[in-house]
Structure 1
Protein backbone atom coordinates (compact mmCIF):
# COMPACT_ATOMS: atom_id res chain seq x y z
CA UNK A 1 0.00 0.00 0.00
CA UNK A 2 1.40 3.32 -1.01
CA UNK A 3 0.96 6.36 1.21
CA UNK A 4 2.00 8.78 -1.49
CA UNK A 5 -0.55 9.97 -3.98
CA UNK A 6 0.54 11.02 -7.41
CA UNK A 7 -0.32 14.57 -8.30
CA UNK A 8 -2.64 14.78 -11.28
CA UNK A 9 -1.13 15.97 -14.53
CA UNK A 10 -2.13 19.50 -15.55
CA UNK A 11 -4.88 19.63 -18.09
CA UNK A 12 -3.62 19.83 -21.64
CA UNK A 13 -6.52 22.07 -22.59
CA UNK A 14 -5.61 24.53 -19.82
CA UNK A 15 -2.00 24.62 -20.98
CA UNK A 16 -3.09 25.19 -24.59
CA UNK A 17 -5.43 28.03 -23.60
CA UNK A 18 -2.80 29.69 -21.42
CA UNK A 19 -0.23 29.43 -24.19
CA UNK A 20 -2.59 31.01 -26.72
CA UNK A 21 -3.23 33.92 -24.35
CA UNK A 22 0.50 34.42 -23.85
CA UNK A 23 0.98 34.47 -27.63
CA UNK A 24 -1.78 37.07 -27.97
CA UNK A 25 -0.21 39.27 -25.29
CA UNK A 26 3.19 39.03 -27.00
CA UNK A 27 1.62 40.16 -30.29
CA UNK A 28 -0.11 43.08 -28.55
CA UNK A 29 3.17 44.12 -26.91
CA UNK A 30 4.94 44.07 -30.28
CA UNK A 31 2.18 46.22 -31.80
CA UNK A 32 2.31 48.68 -28.90
CA UNK A 33 6.09 49.01 -29.24
CA UNK A 34 5.73 49.75 -32.95
CA UNK A 35 3.04 52.35 -32.27
CA UNK A 36 5.21 53.98 -29.61
CA UNK A 37 8.04 54.40 -32.11
CA UNK A 38 5.70 55.75 -34.79
CA UNK A 39 4.09 58.22 -32.36
CA UNK A 40 7.44 59.72 -31.36
CA UNK A 41 10.27 60.92 -33.50
CA UNK A 42 12.13 57.78 -34.51
CA UNK A 43 15.84 57.88 -33.89
CA UNK A 44 18.39 55.30 -34.90
CA UNK A 45 18.73 54.19 -31.29
CA UNK A 46 14.98 53.77 -30.70
CA UNK A 47 14.48 51.90 -33.97
CA UNK A 48 17.38 49.56 -33.24
CA UNK A 49 16.03 48.85 -29.75
CA UNK A 50 12.61 48.19 -31.28
CA UNK A 51 14.13 45.77 -33.79
CA UNK A 52 15.93 43.90 -31.04
CA UNK A 53 12.77 43.67 -28.89
CA UNK A 54 10.67 42.49 -31.84
CA UNK A 55 13.23 39.83 -32.75
CA UNK A 56 13.37 38.54 -29.17
CA UNK A 57 9.57 38.48 -28.81
CA UNK A 58 9.19 36.79 -32.19
CA UNK A 59 11.62 34.05 -31.20
CA UNK A 60 9.73 33.56 -27.93
CA UNK A 61 6.42 33.43 -29.80
CA UNK A 62 7.69 30.88 -32.31
CA UNK A 63 9.19 28.65 -29.64
CA UNK A 64 6.02 28.83 -27.54
CA UNK A 65 3.88 28.02 -30.57
CA UNK A 66 6.09 25.04 -31.41
CA UNK A 67 5.84 23.85 -27.81
CA UNK A 68 2.05 24.14 -27.84
CA UNK A 69 1.79 22.17 -31.08
CA UNK A 70 4.33 19.69 -29.72
CA UNK A 71 6.00 19.85 -33.11
CA UNK A 72 9.12 21.66 -34.13
CA UNK A 73 9.73 22.96 -37.68
CA UNK A 74 12.44 20.40 -38.43
CA UNK A 75 10.11 17.53 -37.39
CA UNK A 76 7.30 18.29 -39.87
CA UNK A 77 8.66 16.03 -42.60
CA UNK A 78 9.26 13.01 -40.40
CA UNK A 79 6.93 10.08 -40.89
Structure 2
Protein backbone atom coordinates (compact mmCIF):
# COMPACT_ATOMS: atom_id res chain seq x y z
CA UNK A 1 0.00 0.00 0.00
CA UNK A 2 2.85 2.38 0.77
CA UNK A 3 4.34 1.72 -2.67
CA UNK A 4 1.03 1.98 -4.53
CA UNK A 5 0.27 5.38 -3.06
CA UNK A 6 3.84 6.55 -3.67
CA UNK A 7 4.04 8.43 -0.39
CA UNK A 8 7.08 6.83 1.18
CA UNK A 9 10.15 8.93 1.68
CA UNK A 10 13.14 7.56 3.50
CA UNK A 11 15.37 4.54 3.55
CA UNK A 12 14.71 0.84 3.83
CA UNK A 13 15.07 0.92 7.60
CA UNK A 14 12.31 3.51 7.96
CA UNK A 15 10.03 1.56 5.63
CA UNK A 16 10.60 -1.66 7.59
CA UNK A 17 9.76 0.10 10.86
CA UNK A 18 6.57 1.59 9.41
CA UNK A 19 5.43 -1.72 7.96
CA UNK A 20 6.27 -3.56 11.19
CA UNK A 21 4.25 -1.04 13.20
CA UNK A 22 1.23 -1.33 10.92
CA UNK A 23 1.48 -5.14 10.93
CA UNK A 24 1.57 -5.24 14.72
CA UNK A 25 -1.49 -3.01 15.04
CA UNK A 26 -3.41 -4.83 12.30
CA UNK A 27 -2.49 -8.35 13.45
CA UNK A 28 -5.82 -9.03 15.16
CA UNK A 29 -7.91 -8.17 12.11
CA UNK A 30 -8.85 -10.62 9.35
CA UNK A 31 -6.78 -10.41 6.20
CA UNK A 32 -9.81 -10.05 3.92
CA UNK A 33 -10.79 -6.82 5.71
CA UNK A 34 -7.24 -5.42 5.59
CA UNK A 35 -7.05 -6.15 1.86
CA UNK A 36 -10.41 -4.51 1.23
CA UNK A 37 -9.45 -1.40 3.22
CA UNK A 38 -6.10 -1.24 1.39
CA UNK A 39 -7.93 -1.37 -1.94
CA UNK A 40 -10.23 1.43 -0.82
CA UNK A 41 -7.24 3.51 0.27
CA UNK A 42 -5.33 2.91 -2.96
CA UNK A 43 -8.25 3.65 -5.28
CA UNK A 44 -10.20 6.28 -3.37
CA UNK A 45 -7.70 8.58 -1.75
CA UNK A 46 -4.99 10.93 -2.90
CA UNK A 47 -2.77 10.28 0.10
CA UNK A 48 -2.21 7.51 2.59
CA UNK A 49 -4.43 7.73 5.64
CA UNK A 50 -3.14 7.49 9.16
CA UNK A 51 -3.21 4.14 10.92
CA UNK A 52 -6.25 4.95 13.06
CA UNK A 53 -8.30 5.98 10.02
CA UNK A 54 -7.15 2.86 8.20
CA UNK A 55 -8.24 0.69 11.14
CA UNK A 56 -11.65 2.37 10.98
CA UNK A 57 -11.85 1.30 7.32
CA UNK A 58 -10.77 -2.24 8.25
CA UNK A 59 -13.54 -2.43 10.84
CA UNK A 60 -16.04 -1.17 8.29
CA UNK A 61 -14.84 -3.77 5.79
CA UNK A 62 -15.24 -6.54 8.37
CA UNK A 63 -18.87 -5.86 9.08
CA UNK A 64 -20.52 -6.37 12.44
CA UNK A 65 -19.22 -8.60 15.20
CA UNK A 66 -16.58 -10.45 13.18
CA UNK A 67 -13.96 -10.21 15.94
CA UNK A 68 -16.44 -11.28 18.59
CA UNK A 69 -17.49 -14.32 16.55
CA UNK A 70 -13.83 -15.15 15.93
CA UNK A 71 -13.06 -15.04 19.68
CA UNK A 72 -16.05 -17.25 20.44
CA UNK A 73 -14.93 -19.80 17.85
CA UNK A 74 -11.43 -19.88 19.31
CA UNK A 75 -12.92 -20.59 22.76
CA UNK A 76 -14.77 -23.56 21.32
CA UNK A 77 -11.62 -24.98 19.76
CA UNK A 78 -9.54 -24.82 22.95
TM-score range, shorter chain: 0.3 to 0.5
Which one has the largest radius of gyration?
1
- TM-score w.r.t. length of structure 1: 0.32
Instruction: Give the TM-score of the pair, scaled to structure 2.
Output: 0.32
